[in-house]
Chain A
Amino acid sequence: MSDNAKEILKIEHLFKDYDNTPVLEDIDLTVNKGEVVVIVGPSGCGKSTFLRCLNGLESIREGRITLDGEPVDPNNRSIYKIRERIGMVFQSYDLFPHKTILQNITLSPVKVQKRDKKETEKEALELLERIGLSSHKDKYPRQLSGGQKQRVAIVRALIMHPEVLLLDEITASLDPEMVREVLDVVLSLAREGRTMVIVTHEMGFARAVADRMIFMDGGHIVEEGSPDEFFDRPKSERLRSFLKTFDYEG
């Protein structure tokens, strides 16, 4: 747990709906620098939508999201600058199929942040080395396994030097034997003190990586707490029955 309690991401009274159907209702959440917040909840509870809101990929009906005091608002021109400071990784990897692995990683720092190409490539190679994929740098995404692609997608987000990293069910479409290699990368990022907001269904991983757990259901935050409280002493009935679905002996 980080001792540094500086607020970085602040969500106040967030409301969001799709075609007049409410998806998120009155969400309040503050994420501190260096903190790892893990959100769990049943499918359709709004957790992915919530994460997309944090990157300005969804317009919101009411409320405020701020990154270090600056508004995260998809209708504001500043959203592009904000997105450079918030990295996001998706369930479907979404690497660019027409670019090699190295090009996938360097495209946005070079084109968006106008950083030096040589230096960016050097940094990209270091990051690839770290996740054990440097020998794949000239391959195309289609030549990699799902787990490898997802690790590249994480590096692609990291190289933008984001202040916050959002991970949206990044292991949900992976074969079981590949889940581990991706989660290990995330765990090492957490140990470095990266600020992350993670949506996942991997309860064991959640418990290992989280500083704070959040349970969402029906567009609300139902319960939040430290991982130990959350998993061992759930307060609400809804969380108890949700956790039970992961427990085959129960």
Chain B
Amino acid sequence: MEFDAIREYLPLYAEAFKLTVTIGWIGIALSLVIGIAGAFIMYFRIPVLCQITKAYVELFRNTPLLVQLFFIYFGLPKLGLSISSGTCGAIGLGLLGGSYMAESIRSGLFAVSESQKTGAASLGFRRGGMFFYVILPQAVSISVPSVIANVIFLLKETSVFSAISLMDLMFTAKDLIGLYYKTTECLTLLVAFYILMLLPVSILGSIVEKKVRFGMYGS
């Protein structure tokens, strides 16, 4: 292992790391917005929108991100819809993640027991109050583990961004290997930066999961 090479490459990786993380978290934020909206639409069975959302969820859950990105980045411009690779990465990740988040949150909403709703109704709660004070908090608690799993999954998926020529970590690694053949150094840095990106989220995730687990205990 040549530490000079590592020192030389470090700034390049740091730059790529910043880009990957930024686009990754924008995509995740977008996926949460889409996911919450989608879950509400499916929960309240809003006509037409509900069918569209279900089709979207199935379509994006059953196709790889790489293919989605190729379609958005290379396919759509042919119809006059051009976007930068960064925007494409964030939107692609947001759409993929949105389908996973929608499903997680929706199943959380449906997992709140019928007897909790009856209990709230017998206390005089209206539909809105019942949803916000009784159903939603429990649904969130039930969804948290799978939402966290989705966040980790989405951060990992950022590794395909290089395919649409985003200068992310993978791109940097591949580029440097191609130029200087210092494979071991390049791969070590790649792994180190992905650990830096994901290990904190993984650890934090387990802590958060334990904190909000009231939904699984008895009422």
Which positions in A face B, CB cutoff 8 Å?
52, 55, 57, 80-81, 83-84, 86-88, 90, 92-98, 107-108, 111-113, 140-142, 149, 156-157, 160
Tell me the smallest distance from the CB of B209 to a CB of chain A, in Å. Answer: 15
Q: Could you mark each residue 83-105 of chain B with 1 if its beta carbon is under 8 Å from any beta carbon of chain A, else 0?
A: 00000000000000000000000
The answer to whether the Cβ of B78 comes within 8 Å of any Cβ in the partner chain is: no
Q: How far does the alpha carbon of A55 sit from the alpha carbon of B118 in the complex, in Å?
A: 10
Residues of B within 8 A of A88 (CB): 122
Q: How far does the alpha carbon of A51 sit from the alpha carbon of B129 in the complex, in Å?
A: 24
| Majority secondary structure of chain B interface residues (helix, strand, loop or mixed) | helix
Beta-carbon nearest neighbor of A84 in chain B = B124
Tell me the smallest distance from the CB of A87 to a CB of chain B, in Å. Answer: 7
Q: In the complex where A57-B118, A111-B133 touch, is A98 in contact with B138 (Cβ < 8 A)?
A: yes
CB <8 Å contact, B214 and A80:
no
Count of interface residues, chain B, beta-carbon cutoff 8 Å:
22
CB <8 Å contact, B137 and A55:
no
Residues of A within 8 A of B217 (CB): 97, 140-142
CB <8 Å contact, B218 and A141:
yes
Beta-carbon nearest neighbor of B127 in chain A = A80
Residues of B within 8 A of A95 (CB): 119, 219
CB <8 Å contact, A112 and B125:
yes
Contact of B123 among A92, A142, A160 (CB under 8 A): A160
Residues of A within 8 A of B111 (CB): none
CB <8 Å contact, A112 and B123:
yes
Query: Given contacts A97-B138, A141-B218, could you give 6 more A-B pairs where the C-beta distance is less than 8 Å?
Result: A52-B118, A92-B115, A94-B116, A98-B137, A111-B129, A140-B214
Which residue among A52, A88, A90, A98 has the maximum number of chain B CB atoms within 10 Å of its CB? A98
CB <8 Å contact, B214 and A108:
no
Residues of B within 8 A of A149 (CB): 218-219
CB <8 Å contact, A96 and B125:
no
Q: How far does the alpha carbon of A149 sit from the alpha carbon of B219 in the complex, in Å?
A: 8
Contact of B219 among A55, A83, A94 (CB under 8 A): A94
